[in-house]
């Protein structure tokens, strides 16, 4: 169920053209009769008033082969000279990769534009093409589920299960935004994430770059991240918020720490991080003050002491012993265990680390879930998964494997029209203005546009989630946790 603050409004792309899936070719046999322009309701064919010749077809507007069933306007059949043909556009192969397929990117754009899953049936967007993990898991729907009305289905989850008198934080959808630091993304990106978090009654995270003033109106929906460099961490930033997150490691670069180049440490970034402008800033690995679970507890106690209502989240990556780390964190007093898998996103990480270090989240979730359960601690901590949650289906599978909810990052940026070209950090930064502080590039969109795109994406996911819960005959997303019996794996069945 969406909160009342969520209002869906169409928010189209900021670019003139989309990336086309199909290619419409007009051969020399065309006599410029204009029949195609008259019949195509999508505007693929154009002839400007007074011009003799047809303009080249506008490929991205074409709905492709499913148009064949439209007898009255399928241009390929209607053309009297049979001068038109339809094929897959080679341009589409240049977009996406096997984890984030071109269909998945385009579908995410549509969700961000309309607020709903695509009506087109030609996009395979629920599964990637990576050949493993989520992409090999399928949902098993029962034949005759109990009847449940959409309106009666709850997607809310509680984040504090300790009954320790601290804030009883409930989020309306089991997803929140990952940490992206001030400086790593544009101000409009950061602000829109916070505004959307407020609209959806969920959270966004500061990342390790300080707590800019523009986020103050959204304090109740912001997580302050405390990472190893302790940049921008002050008593005041810890006291502002309901959740404080300790970041031990990041899935994309586990065990490596971070490095902000001197050139990126501009005046405003330096002020926010309380550092000297122009010097390279290192976030070391690991926390230099944590060499044992007792040290870890000391840190959690320190936060709890400083902010008596805050919940503490502990973000770790996924080594072999992630289950042990999770249990240790629980005993140290964490409310939320956030595990970040190896295939997660990043603004910059060594390729060798992204591919090779630590396990994918799909294995880590059941590992941690069962270990916590065997320890009798599963019901008193919240388990959040991230690192490769691309779609609503991934989210559902993660929950079935044992998570309570998920954190997403890349999907949010794709909603803002990221193409995952991977050049977030090089030169002037993101060419599409999402992850850049370059004065010209960062102005490519405003936070109104971005907020609505994110709100729409969250809505489309929530809509799919409710759909799925209805098919399972469930009234709450919490019933789904750990239900591996609702999944099947194509290699094992």
Partner 1 sequence: MPKKYHIEINPTPLDVKLVAKFKITRGENCINCGKCTKVCIYEAHKRSEADIRKLADPYMVACKNCFRCIQECPRGALVKSLEPEFQALGGSYWKPDMFLSIWKQAEDGKVPVSGAGYRGPFTGPGFDGMWTDMSEIVRPTRDGIHGREYISTAVELGRKLNHLEFDASGALVSKIFNVVDVPIPIVFDIPASDIITPNVMQAIVAAAIKIDSFVIFPAENITDDVRKHMLHIIPLMSAEAILSHAELIRHARVIALEYSDKLLKNFSTIRQSVRNLSPALVIVRIPAATGVEDRVAELVLAGVEIVHIAADYCGMEVQGDRYIKDVIRAVHLRLVDERVRDEISIIASGGIAMAEHVPKACICGADLTAVGLPLLIALGALVYQEPEKKIVMPEGIDKIPLAIARQRIVNLMGAWHSQILEMMGAMGIREARRLRGETGRAIFFDEIDKDIFGKLFQKQEAANV
Separation of alpha carbons 407 and 279, rounded Å: 31
CB atoms closer than 10 angstroms to residue 488: 14
In the bound state with partner 1, the residue whose beta carbon lies nearer, of 109 and 200, is: 109
- Of positions 31, 276, 306, 421, contacts partner 1 by CB under 8 A: 421
Identify any residues that bridge with 250 across adjacent strands, giving them in sequence order: none
Separation of alpha carbons 168 and 479, rounded Å: 20
256 in contact with partner 1 (CB under 8 A)? yes
388 in contact with partner 1 (CB under 8 A)? yes
121 in contact with partner 1 (CB under 8 A)? no
Question: Which helix H or strand E contains 338, and what residues bound it?
Answer: strand 336-340
CB of 67 to partner 1, least distance (A): 19
Verify cis geometry, omega within 30 degrees of 0, for the bond prior to 410.
no
What six digits make up the tokens of 259?
Answer: 């490095």
In the bound state with partner 1, the residue whose beta carbon lies nearer, of 193 and 198, is: 193
CB of 459 to partner 1, least distance (A): 24
151 in contact with partner 1 (CB under 8 A)? no
Separation of alpha carbons 226 and 122, rounded Å: 43
Map the footprint of partner 1 across residues 320-339, applying CB under 8 A. Answer: 320-322, 325
CB atoms closer than 10 angstroms to residue 35: 16
- Of positions 85, 236, 352, 446, contacts partner 1 by CB under 8 A: 352
348 in contact with partner 1 (CB under 8 A)? yes
Separation of alpha carbons 73 and 346, rounded Å: 45
- Of positions 422, 443, 446, 471, contacts partner 1 by CB under 8 A: 422
125 in contact with partner 1 (CB under 8 A)? no
CB of 435 to partner 1, least distance (A): 7
32 in contact with partner 1 (CB under 8 A)? no
The angle subtended at Cα 60 by Cα 58 and Cα 62, nearest 5°, is 80
- Of positions 122, 219, 220, 488, contacts partner 1 by CB under 8 A: 488
In the bound state with partner 1, the residue whose beta carbon lies nearer, of 148 and 487, is: 487
84 in contact with partner 1 (CB under 8 A)? no
H-helix segments, 387-436: 392-401, 410-415
Asked whether 272 and 209 are in contact (CB, 8 A), the reply is: yes
426 in contact with partner 1 (CB under 8 A)? yes
The strand ranges marked E within 34-182 are: 84-88, 137-139, 157-158, 170-171, 175-177
290 in contact with partner 1 (CB under 8 A)? yes
158 in contact with partner 1 (CB under 8 A)? no
The strand ranges marked E within 415-489 are: 487-489
Give the closest residue to 172 by CA, choosing from 392, 336, 4. 4
104 in contact with partner 1 (CB under 8 A)? no
Map the footprint of partner 1 across residues 161-200, applying CB under 8 A. Answer: none
Separation of alpha carbons 24 and 233, rounded Å: 55
Only one of the segments 119-127, 313-321, 449-457, 471-479 lies at the binding site for partner 1 (rule: CB under 8 A); that segment is: 313-321
Q: Cα-flanking dihedrals φ and ψ of residue 336, to 5°? A: -125, 130
- Of positions 125, 254, 272, 477, contacts partner 1 by CB under 8 A: 254
- Of positions 42, 216, 282, 331, contacts partner 1 by CB under 8 A: 282
- Of positions 2, 6, 59, 451, contacts partner 1 by CB under 8 A: 59
Print burial letters for 43-72: b (CB count within 10 Å at least 16), e (below 16): ebbbbeeeeeebeebbbbbbbbeebeeeee
What six digits make up the tokens of 430?
Answer: 């993101």
Give the closest residue to 395 by CA, choosing from 408, 414, 382. 408
Map the footprint of partner 1 across residues 427-486, applying CB under 8 A. Answer: 427-428, 430-432, 435, 441, 484
360 in contact with partner 1 (CB under 8 A)? yes
- Of positions 175, 311, 327, 353, contacts partner 1 by CB under 8 A: 353
Map the footprint of partner 1 across residues 1-20, applying CB under 8 A. Answer: 13, 15-19
CB of 320 to partner 1, least distance (A): 5
């Amino acid at each position: 169920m969406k909160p009342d603050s969520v209002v869906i409004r169409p928010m189209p792309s900021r670019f003139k053209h989309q990336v086309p899936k199909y290619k419409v070719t007009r051969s020399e046999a065309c006599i410029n009769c204009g029949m195609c322009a008259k019949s195509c309701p999508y505007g693929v064919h154009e002839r400007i008033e007074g011009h003799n010749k047809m303009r080249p077809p506008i490929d991205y507007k074409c709905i492709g082969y499913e148009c064949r069933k439209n007898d009255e306007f399928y241009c390929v059949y209607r053309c009297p000279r049979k001068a038109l043909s339809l094929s897959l556009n080679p341009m589409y192969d240049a977009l996406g990769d096997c984890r984030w397929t071109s269909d998945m990117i385009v579908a995410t754009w549509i969700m961000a534009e309309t607020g709903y899953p695509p009506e087109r049936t030609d996009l395979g967007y629920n599964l990637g093409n990576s050949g493993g993990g989520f992409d090999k898991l399928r949902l098993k729907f029962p034949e005759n589920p109990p009847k449940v009305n959409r309106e009666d289905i709850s997607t809310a989850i509680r984040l504090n299960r300790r009954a320790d008198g601290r804030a009883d934080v409930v989020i309306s959808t089991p997803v929140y935004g990952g940490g992206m630091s001030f400086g790593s993304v544009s101000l409009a990106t950061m602000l829109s994430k916070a505004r959307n978090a407020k609209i959806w009654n969920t959270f966004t995270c500061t990342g390790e770059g300080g707590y800019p003033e523009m986020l103050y109106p959204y304090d109740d929906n912001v997580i302050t991240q405390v990472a190893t460099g302790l940049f921008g961490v002050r008593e005041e930033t810890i006291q502002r918020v309901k959740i404080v997150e300790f970041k031990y490691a990041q899935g994309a670069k586990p065990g490596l720490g971070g490095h902000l180049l001197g050139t990126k440490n501009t005046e405003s970034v330096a002020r926010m991080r309380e550092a000297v402008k122009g010097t390279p800033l290192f976030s070391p690995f690991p926390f230099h003050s944590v060499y044992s679970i007792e040290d870890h507890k000391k840190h959690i106690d320190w936060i709890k002491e400083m902010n008596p209502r805050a919940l503490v989240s502990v973000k770790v990556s996924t080594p072999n012993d992630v289950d042990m780390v999770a249990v240790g964190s629980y005993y140290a007093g964490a409310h939320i265990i956030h595990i970040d898998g190896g295939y997660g996103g990043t603004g910059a990480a060594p390729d060798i680390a992204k591919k090779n270090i630590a396990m994918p989240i799909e294995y880590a979730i059941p590992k941690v879930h069962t270990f916590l359960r065997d320890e009798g601690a599963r019901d008193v901590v919240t388990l959040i998964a991230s690192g490769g949650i691309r779609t609503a289906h991934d989210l559902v599978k993660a929950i079935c494997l044992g998570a309570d909810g998920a954190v997403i990052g890349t999907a949010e940026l794709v909603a803002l029209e990221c193409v995952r070209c991977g050049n977030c950090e090089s030169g002037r930064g993101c060419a599409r203005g999402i992850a850049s502080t370059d004065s010209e590039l960062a102005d490519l969109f405003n936070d109104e546009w971005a907020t609505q795109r994110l709100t729409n994406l969250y809505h489309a996911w929530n809509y799919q989630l409710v759909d799925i819960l209805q098919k399972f005959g469930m009234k709450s997303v919490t019933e789904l946790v750990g239900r591996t019996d609702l999944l099947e794996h194509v290699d094992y069945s």
